């Protein structure tokens, strides 16, 4: 056997602090251009500097059609995750996600080509299909990227509906004194995971599961925010584009005052704090365990239809 036994993330160029961080996400390649490039967007020539993506070029000009780019953040080493695929544009090489395609000299980008337009609309509706769209009870009402993008994209009735099956709702995690998590509103953009791991270097959050069970979870294996190693810095909340992560105390700040409706009763189930006496510190870092058993399964047969 080899002298190069693979070790999780051990060979990356990272500060020693992050060595044991296991965010559960793929190690993506660099997806920005190496050099200054001139691309054409809807007939207009745009010059972008080295390190740009097609989205940088698209954002420079008035485009023919709106390109939502919902999961895009691209500040502070966060993203592109490129999972929502609402930023598809057409190029000479076919339909590509603008947020994660390097801007290469001479590329011709069109925002109003039918396949790109269709892909953006369908993917945005697919995001909404898994979303608890109860804006009136949501703490991010009026300051939510998903809401902004949906309005801007003229979504009136998402073609696949919205998440409305109460059996599927995950309970709201209300256990932390500082942050409330409602995973029914999470679009899995990964911003919080990257803010926590790559910016704050706290190693609290991770992506876990697969298929419909994909969710944000905690690297120490805790079921609740309270039991995690969170230091309540709040960075994850700052970057969250939806009402999935909201500061405690203002989770109802933008709720439209209908008697009896609020964020906590919007899905019916809430996990409250266990109210155990806590010391002055968060759980010890060295308790932190990472999920070393590899995932298996997912190939099992279910009943049909």
Q: Given the complex with ligand FES, which of 84 and 225 has the nearer CB atom?
A: 84
Contacts of ligand FES in 91-150 (CB under 6 A): 97, 99
Q: Minimal distance in Å, beta carbon 146 to ligand FES?
A: 11
Q: Given the complex with another protein, which of 102 and 243 has the nearer CB atom?
A: 102
Residue 179 · residue 236 · CB < 8 Å: yes
Residue 133 · residue 155 · CB < 8 Å: no
Q: Given the complex with ligand SF4, which of 205 and 267 has the nearer CB atom?
A: 205
Q: Given the complex with another protein, which of 286 and 304 has the nearer CB atom?
A: 304
| Dihedral sign (CA 297, 294, 245, 287) | positive
Q: What phi and psi, each to the nearest 5 degrees, are found at residue 172?
A: -70, 135
Neighbours of 182 (CB within 10 A): 28
Query: Which among 177, 183, 176, 199 is positioned nearest to 79, based on CA atoms?
Result: 199
Stretch that binds ligand FES, among 22-30, 68-76, 141-149, 227-235 (CB under 6 A): 68-76
Cis peptide before 50 (omega within 30 of 0): no
Q: Minimal distance in Å, beta carbon 236 to another protein?
A: 19
Contacts of ligand FES in 243-302 (CB under 6 A): none
231 touches which of another protein, ligand SF4, ligand FES, none (CB within 5 to 8 A by kind)?
ligand SF4
* Cα–Cα distance measured from residue 264 to residue 184, given in angstroms and rounded to the nearest whole number: 12
| Dihedral sign (CA 155, 160, 161, 162) | negative
Q: Which residues bind ligand SF4 (CB under 6 A)?
A: 179, 186-192, 195-196, 200, 202, 204-205, 216, 230-236, 239-242, 244-245
Query: Which residues would be at the binding site for ligand FES (CB under 6 A)?
Result: 69-72, 82-87, 97, 99
């Amino acid at each position: 056997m080899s002298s190069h036994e693979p070790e999780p993330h051990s060979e990356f160029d990272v500060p020693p602090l992050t060595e044991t961080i296991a965010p559960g996400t793929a190690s993506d390649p660099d997806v920005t251009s190496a050099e200054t490039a001139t691309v054409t967007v809807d007939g207009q020539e745009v010059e972008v500097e080295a390190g740009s993506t097609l989205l940088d070029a698209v954002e420079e000009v008035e485009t023919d059609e709106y390109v939502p780019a919902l999961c895009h953040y691209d500040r502070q080493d966060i993203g592109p995750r490129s999972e929502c695929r609402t930023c598809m544009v057409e190029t000479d090489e076919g339909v590509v996600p603008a947020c994660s395609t390097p801007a290469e000299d001479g590329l011709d980008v069109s925002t109003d080509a039918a396949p790109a337009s269709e892909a953006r609309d369908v993917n945005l509706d697919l995001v909404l299909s898994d979303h608890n769209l109860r804006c009136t009870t949501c703490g991010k009402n009026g300051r939510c990227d998903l809401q902004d993008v949906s309005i801007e994209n003229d979504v009136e009735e998402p073609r696949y509906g919205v998440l409305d099956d109460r059996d599927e709702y995950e309970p709201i995690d209300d256990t932390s004194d500082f942050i409330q998590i409602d995973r029914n509103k999470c679009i899995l953009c990964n911003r919080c995971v990257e803010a926590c791991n790559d910016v704050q270097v706290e190693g609290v959050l991770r992506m876990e599961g697969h298929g419909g069970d994909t969710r944000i979870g905690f690297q120490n294996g805790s079921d609740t925010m309270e039991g995690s190693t969170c230091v309540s810095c709040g960075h994850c909340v700052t970057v969250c584009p939806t009402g999935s992560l909201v500061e405690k105390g203002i989770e109802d700040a933008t709720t439209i005052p209908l008697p009896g409706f609020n964020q906590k009763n919007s899905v019916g189930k809430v996990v409250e704090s266990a109210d155990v006496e806590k010391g002055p510190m968060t759980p010890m870092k060295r308790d932190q365990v990472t999920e070393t058993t590899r995932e298996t399964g997912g190939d099992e047969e279910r009943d049909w239809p």
